[in-house]
Structure formats: C-alpha cells, structure tokens
Structure 1
Amino acid sequence: MPEDEKTPGREVITDYAQAHFRYFRTADGTVYAQRNGHPVARPIRSQGTTGSHRQELMVGLFRDGHGVFNGTALKEALDLIEALALTTEVQAVHIRVAPGFDGATWLDLGRTDGQSVRIHPTGWDILTPDPREVCWRRTQLTGELPMPAKGTNGKGIDLLLRLNNFATAETECLAIAWLIGCLGPSVPVPAPFLTGPQGAGKSTSGRMLTRVIEGMSADLRRPPKDEESLTAAVAAGWITALDNLSHLGPDLSDLMCCIVTGAETLKRALFTDGDVYRARYRRPLLMTGIDVGVIRPDLAERLLPLRLERPTVRRTEAELWREFEEVLPVILGSLLDLTVQVRAAQTDIPTDLRMADFAHLCAQLDAATGLGALNAYRATLDDLNDDVIEGDLLAQTVLQHAATLDPGAVVRMTSAEWLHALTRLYSGEDCRPLPKGWPTTGKVLSDRLKRLQPTLSARGVVIEWGRTKTARYIELDCPTPPSPDQQAAF
C-alpha cells in the first residue's frame, strides 16, 4: 500500500479506543476510561502501577492484531480522546463503597471480573454493576475481598468478636455499628480509637476491623509527617487506619476532623501556573494507641473509643490470621445481612448529638437487635467530655466558677473581664503561676471558650456571645447546678 494511503496511527488508536472503551469526566475535570461492560475505570493520564489506561490500550491493540504504535501516536490519540471527553456528562468514580440506583449501595470486592455486592432494601446480591450506575476506581490500596457467604444466621459477627479482646459488650456493639457505617457511602462515622494496656491486641483488632472491609492486604500505617502525606493516603483508599498514636498535635487533630466529616483540598496542578487540582474526601478513620494526651473538643465529638483488655490465652500470629482468613467470608456475609436489617429499621433521629447520622445508625441497630448501641455511644461521648475537661485547665476553672453560682444565675461580662475573673480564680490567694497556654487576651479567651462550648454545655454550663450598643459580651448561664461529683473534682 502506498505510504500516503496508510491510515495514520493516531486514527487507528482513536477508532479502536472509542469502539472498546467508554470515556467520561468527573466533576474535577479528570477524564476516565472504562472498558465496555466493565465497572472499573482508570484515569487516561495515569501512570500507576495498578495498570494504566495507556497500558491496557497498547495491549488491546497488539492482541487484536493492530500492531505496536509509537509514543507519539498514542499521545496524539489520547490528547484527542481527552478533549472529546470533556464535553461528555459528568459521572463520579468511587473507591470501595458507592451509592446506586433506587436506594441501593455497592461494595467493591476488588475482583478482576468486577463482581460487587449490591445492598438493597430487601437484601444483598453479588452482581457486576452497570457501568453507568457505578464506576470503581482501583489503587494499590484496593485489596480483594472474598465472596461473602449467604445464610450465615449471624454467626459471623460472633466469630469476629471472639477473635478480638473488646473489654465490654457495649464496646462490641459500637465496633459492629462502625463496620455497618463503613458500608454507607454518604454517612460520616466517628473514628474508632482502640485503646487499652500493652498487649491488649490493639493493632491486631485494628487490622481485623479494617480487613473486614478492605481485604487481607490492608494494614495499619504510621502517622504521617505532614498534611500532604495523609491526604494522599486518604484519597487512595477507603479506610485510613493509623497505628500506635502517642500524640495528636493541633494540625493533625484538625485534619482528622476534616477526614471524618469531609473536606476539600486544593493544590496547584503540575506543570501549570494558574490551574488547580481539587480533591474532596470523607473517609472512615481508625486509630490505635495507649494514650494520645490532651484531646481537643472538636475531635472528641468525632471519636469512638473502643477499649480492649489483655487476653488470658495467647495465640500465634499465624494461627490467628489463618483462622480469620478462613472465616472472613462468613463474617462479611453476616455483616451484610445485619446491614440490611439495620437499614430497614424505622427509628427517630437523635438530634442532640454532633454525629447525628451515626447516632441514628446506632438507634436502628438497637431496633434491629436490642444491643443498646445508642446508650453506649452516649456513654463514650460523656467519657470523652471528661477527658477534655481533665486536660484543659481553663475548662476546669469555668466549671469551678459555675459551681459558685446559684441555679439559674446568668453572668454577663466582657471578654477582658472574664479573663481577669478566671485568672484570679485560678491563681487563688497563693497567686500560683499561670500554666503554659493560658489565655493572655480577651480575644484568645473568647476563641478558647468557643472550642469548649459543646463540652461545657454537656456539663450544664451554657456560654453565649452577644453585643450591646457599646460593647460585646460573653454570657454564662448555669441552668442546672453541677453535680456533687463534678464540684468535688475541682
């Protein structure tokens, strides 16, 4: 064939790609390729080790007898495909868990054939999702799950709890509630913090809870050194599990709050001057550790302490994980059965808790099983409030001041007047030195009180801010007197 009659390579590649793949864009403008009839999508610009679209396109062209093409032809073809895809409809891609049609949700089993679990109001099934309903994104953190077992009669839940060293039945039901919450793509769940003495199996339990959802390849990670490292890990997987935390600085604490309830990060796009890359994330978070020191109030409302105890009989790692892997299909099947029952339960939504969605899930779990998860959740939040107060001398001083007031008394002062009064109360007659971090100005005091407002409100001390014609003020209202135990603590 004369040279001028040959079809250019870029046209051959473009025609083949459009015949065998579906191309679409996400809300942030990233273009994805999805093989016809298969739910897994890959970004066309990805060079990842999990298999890029460029690689699968080259392999398909070679196996179908179209030959091998040079990099220039591939680049020109992908440039054109990307430009054409920018005019298509927007569709989201999901990692591990996704919303579906008619109130259903999907769980990606991480299989090469794309088979997934569809959880719907009347049960769950194993299907290959319609690519226009669900698009999965896979990364190196996407492990494969076994086929869940049908007809387990709930015995998988008992098997999972038997393999862990949870201290109380209340802790067990909260762990199950968290796993059910992880199967919801749009429900934020508090972050379990597995605590206990040395040798209680905190890391082992953390791995087990994570692997129920993420597969046997999932593992715990060391706390990241900076925000960028953590957000990269969060974006690449579903559950982010951090091991052996011993300290939570202000920056890491704020970032964890964002992970639990959702946030967005912006970075400058590579090789550009004015374009940006936008990443949204909200993921289940899990942590282990003996103690992390002082907990900030905003993070305390997003935590779920799960206490473990030291086992009386030790088992080898090989024996423990061999048994867990054998029963994982039964555990997953029982968890899916229970999830269907919980979602079908009709209950009122608790409106007094910060994580109202998870509180509602606990109430549904109680309606389905009678475990008492909601009361257990309230008790853990109450314990966390105590931890926050014990670690904050300003909160203790405010409660000490409230204890001197008559029931129903209202005190209104400016922030500077409050700072003087609380400082004088803390120093006492012996003029003890102020601790490090004590507020130095009225503005700093006001900001600290805003952080402590939910914690103090849980102890019957209501703080409000207002303004008169001449100045702003802070008002303290003590509608119910502190209990004798609280007064004795200070």
Structure 2
Amino acid sequence: MSEHDEKSAVREVIAKYAMEHFAYFRTPDGTPYAQRIGHPIARPLKSQGVAGSHRQELMLDMFNEGLGLFSGTAMKEALDLIEALTISGSVRQVNIRVAPCQTAVGVTWLDLGRDDGQSVRIAPGGWQVRKPSADEVVWRRTQLTGELPSPQPGQGMAGIDRLWELCNFSDAESSALAIAWLLGCLDPAVPVPAPFLTGPQGAGKSTTARMLTRVIEGMSADLRRAPKDEDGLITAVAAGWVTPLDNLSHLSADMSDLMCCIVTGAETIKRALYTDGDVHRARYRRPLLLTGIDVGVIRPDLGERLLHLKLERPARRRSEAELWAEFSDALPAILGGLLDLAVEVRAQQVDVPADLRMADFARLCAQFDHVHHLGSLPAYRASLDDLTDDVIEGDVLAQTVLRHAATMGQGPARQSSSSWLDTLTRLYSGSAEDAPYRPLPKGWPTTGKVLSDRLKRLQPTLAARGVIVEWGRHSRQEDPARSRYIEITPGRGP
C-alpha cells in the first residue's frame, strides 16, 4: 500500500468511527458542533479551550477503544471533511444552563452541569431530574458551567425560607423581588431586569449577590469585575447564563447601552477571524446582577431595566466558612423549593401589566403574587419609582424640565428644539434679575439636536413624573415650512 493510500485509509477509519458515534450539526450562527449519540452535551469542533473540543474527545475515545493514536494531520483532515458535511446538515440551537424544550410547548430545562448530562425538566405538571434526549435539548459547556446539586423535591416555600434566612434583605419587598428574579432566570423566554443590590457598608451586598448567582450557577460561580470594553462584556455573558458584576463605580454611555441590550436581547456582528469578508454573529440575552453602582450615573434607559434590592447590616456576624457551609448544605433544598415554585407560578393565568416596559417580568411577578400574595408586583413598581428618583437626582436637565413644567399650568407648550434649549438654559442659569447666575454644568446640551436626543432618553423618566414630551411637525396652515417642534405637557403622566 502506497503512503497516499495509507493516509487515506487512516482518514477513513477516523471519519467512519466519528460518524458512527457522534451526530454533527451547525448552530444558527454557523458554528459546527458534535454531539455524542444519546448524550445531551455538544462540543465545538474547533475549540481548544479548557472545556475541551470534539477533536480531543474523539482522539481520547479512539485511543481508549484500542484503535490507536492517530497523527494530528490525519485527525484534522478527517474533521475538516466532517465539518464540510455539516454545511448541508441539520441546524440546531445549543444552550447554556437553561433552554426551552424542542419537543414540548411550555417545558423548559435546567442543566445541572454534570458529566452524565442529568438535567431538570420543568413541565406544567411538575419537575423531574433525568437525562434529556438529543431531540429535547442540546447543552453547551464552558469553564463557567458549574455543577448544581440534585434538587430536593417537595420543599415549596420552606426551601425559599432557607435562602431568606441567609440573606440580609431589609424588607419583604426586596426578598420577594429576589425570588421573582430567580424564577425569571429559570425561564429562557422571560427577559429579567438586572438586580441592583444597595445597602450600607457591611450589609453583605457581594455575599448576597454570590448566593443569588450560585442558586442558578452552582457553588463554583463567583462575582466578576466589570470588563473595560464592549468585547470583554460580550465575551463574559456569552460563556455563562447569569453574569454577576461586582463593585461598579462608573458606567460609560456605551457600556450602559450595552447592558440594556444584554438584558432585553440583541446581537453583534464582527468580521470572522482570518477572513476578509465573512462575519461572525453573536446573539445574547442574559440575566445580569450588579452591585456597588451609584445610581446617579445610570442612564434612564438602563434604570428601567434595573431591580432595586435593599440590604441591611446583619444582626449577627458569621465567618465565611460557616456561612458558605450552611449555604452549601441548604442549596439542594433552596433549588428544590425554587423549582416547586416555578411550576406553581407558571400555571397561573393573569393579565399582563401594560404600563411597564419589561412586561414579561411584570407578568411573572403577578403570577407569583397570585400564588403567595407577597406583593412582588407592587414592589417592582416601587423599585422603578425609586430608580426614577435616583435618575432625576443625577440628571440636571431632567430636574430643569420638571421645574419648568411646574410653572406651565395644564396646557401643552410647543417650541423648536433651539427655543427649548434657550428656555431651559435661562431657567437653569438663573438669568432672571432676582436669581443668581449659575454656570452651566458639564454635559449640558449645546445644540437643539443634542437637547432633542437627551429628551428622548429622558422621555420615560419624565412621563413617570407626569410630564409628557412629544415630537411633531407644524401643519402647513401653521407653518408653510412645516418645521419640527417639541411639545411638553405637564400633568398627563401616570
């Protein structure tokens, strides 16, 4: 046999073994994956990361079965052929931690992060731990996929109580909102606002954030520092489900906008590596959890996507070792109680609140209240109201608009953006004879266009305080040029 024939035979042996033991497919973004037949975990063909690649998996399987140790060249060529075959093959979605069931409506799955693929099936009639079939769900594992303990059945609210006993929430409303957020994290179809943990020094904000994260991600999960740029944050959220960011002291405008996209869902498109014209698509929507933010620097659109959870200093201090040993011991009961509650809550039929931006989460709160009457929906409204106050306190333009609206009476006022800029600037700077002059603050709008853009961002915040801002054009009877105007009307908000 010639050397060429020998190499071809080796490639054929590898390809035949691979096709007999693995199913190959592509994700909607075009990434090729391999899934062991009868097992729910898939691995990317090309990854060389610590989570392992299919190439490593295949090489190890063939070696353990006594087929020999093949050269890297032969393995690469065989996998290149298999990757090419996936172009015309099936397209499947891979998931991290939670996923909808592909074969049953209303059923979701929770990955326990175990090597044997055991997962939790959450259905309308109850939940159970078993290994899903390849048709039901496909899991993707990363270094951030920690292992969860087997949840204890029949816990109900007793399991939730064990979590509340370990956390330092200052009121029942914050406790209820924390559980509503955890319920949302179990449902891949529900965008959830990002909990923002506040409290005095020593209230255990970081510790509570770890606990909430580890209920979903396991004991190996930990808090992270905020990435410095967009690429870093997208990489962080793509590798896990819950993204906990600790001790944030400042958010740039771009990072704030990106967090809005992560909470409600978006995608990024970048040039694929080592190509000139191909692109790589990355879709993401993940639960965020934040601590340490001064809300005054939060932009209004992010403020609508936050969940204010208040903490207080504990009456009794415990050592780290004691606290986490107790939490680890309670985690199976906490997770079981959360799953029991998820089944109960999802069965409730309630109306969707139409006045809140994150209506899916508001509906979940209403379902939760229908079961246990803990007032999570009123608490969510109060949380948004608190955040609105904080946003206004940190935005001089919003304060000036509200101050002007208080003197307008009930009728609307229409002006061009430039005229509004002049009106608001005069009001703030104190150009009236009986008021001292104040220099304009940094970031004050310099043109009518900048003012218009700022007001669009502030529109929901101002509406929450009864001031409606709208844009339009004059009719030809009013102005032959049909110039644009901004209309401000006080007293029409909720």
Give the TM-score category using the shorter length: over 0.9
Could you list the per-position Cα deviations for residues 141-169 of structure 1 after superposition, in whole angstroms to 9, with x for gaps in the alignment?
Answer: 00000000011142110000000000100
Secondary structure in 2 matching 1:98: strand
User: In structure 2, what is the equivalent of residue 21 of structure 1?
Assistant: 22
Contact kept? 1:245, 1:292, Cα under 8 Å: no
- Over 3 Å counting, the alpha-carbon distance change for 1:67 and 1:480 in structure 2 is closer
Equivalent residues of 2:269, 2:282 under 8 A apart: yes
Structural mapping, 1:54-453, within 5 Å: 54-100=55-101, 101-289=104-292, 291-407=294-410, 409-428=411-430, 429=432, 430-453=436-459
SS in 1 for 2:485: strand
Mapped to 1, the partners of 2:486 and 2:285 lie a distance apart of 35
SS at match of 1:102: coil
Structure 1 outlier segments of 4+, above 4 Å: 1-7
SS at match of 2:259: helix
Whether the 8 Å contact between 1:248 and 1:292 is mirrored in structure 2 is: no
Partner of 1:474: 486
Aligned partner of residue 47 in structure 1, secondary structure: coil
| Equivalent position SS for 1:78 | helix
Give, in angstroms, the shift of residue 102 of structure 1. 2.5
Q: Distance in 2 between matches of 1:291 and 1:459?
A: 21
Report the Cα distance in structure 1 between the residues aligned to 2:200 and 2:437, rounded to whole angstroms: 38
Deviation at residue 5 of structure 1 after TM alignment: 7.4
Q: CA deviation at 1:3?
A: 7.1
In structure 2, give the amino acid aligned to 1:413. Q
How far apart, CA to CA, are the structure 1 residues paired with 2:137 and 2:120? 12
**How far apart, CA to CA, are the structure 2 residues paired with 1:434 and 1:151?**
61
Give the C-alpha shift of residue 290 in structure 1: 5.8
1:462 is matched with: 468
Q: Secondary structure at the match of 1:45?
A: coil
Q: Which moved more, 1:393-402 or 1:428-437?
A: 428-437
Amino acid at match of 2:437: C
Partners in 1 of 2:416 and 2:389 — Cα distance?
A: 27
Query: Paired residue for 1:487?
Result: none
Q: Aligned Cα RMSD in Å?
A: 1.4
What is the CA–CA distance in structure 2 between the aligned matches of 1:431 and 1:3, rounded to whole Å?
90
Q: Which residue of 1 aligns with 2:34?
A: 33
Separation in 2, partners of 1:143, 1:292:
31
Q: Do the aligned residues in 1 keep the contact of 2:107 with 2:123 (CA within 8 Å)?
A: yes
TM-score (normalizing by structure 2): 0.95
Give 1:401 deviation, angstroms: 1.0
Give the secondary structure class of the aligned counterpart of 1:310: coil
Looking at structure 2, the residues matched to 62 and 38 of structure 1 have their Cα atoms a distance apart, in angstroms, of 20
**Counterpart of 1:293 in 2: which secondary structure?**
helix
Alignment: residue pair count: 481
- Report the Cα distance in structure 2 between the residues aligned to 1:267 and 1:415, rounded to whole angstroms: 36
Q: Tell me the distance in 2 between the aligned counterparts of 1:295 and 1:275.
A: 36
* Rounded Cα–Cα distance in structure 1 between residues aligned with 2:288 and 2:419: 41
Whether contact under 8 Å (1:419, 1:441) holds in the other structure is yes
Report the secondary structure of 1:69's partner residue: coil
Structure 1: gaps of 5 or more residues: 483-490
For the residues of structure 2 that align with 1:479 and 1:382, how far apart are their CA atoms?
17
Structure 2 CA distance for aligned equivalents of residues 401 and 271 of structure 1: 56
- Measured in 2, the distance between the counterparts of 1:16 and 1:269 equals 31
Is the Cα contact below 8 Å between 2:468 and 2:492 reproduced in 1?
Answer: no
CA distance in 2, matches of 1:312, 1:30: 52
Which residue identity is paired with 1:76?
A: E
1:106-145 CA deviation, whole Å, 9 max, x = no partner?
A: 0000000001000001110111111122000000000000
CA distance in 2, matches of 1:56, 1:247: 43
- Normalized against structure 1, the TM-score is what? 0.96
Q: CA 1:264–1:74 in structure 2 vs 1: closer, same or farther (change >3 Å)?
A: same
1:424 partner letter = R
Say which is worse superposed, 95-104 or 209-218, in terms of deviation.
95-104
Letter in 1 for 2:89: T
Instruction: Name the SS for the 2:469 alignment partner.
Output: strand
1:44 alignment counterpart = 45
- Tell me which amino acid in the other structure corresponds to 1:191: A
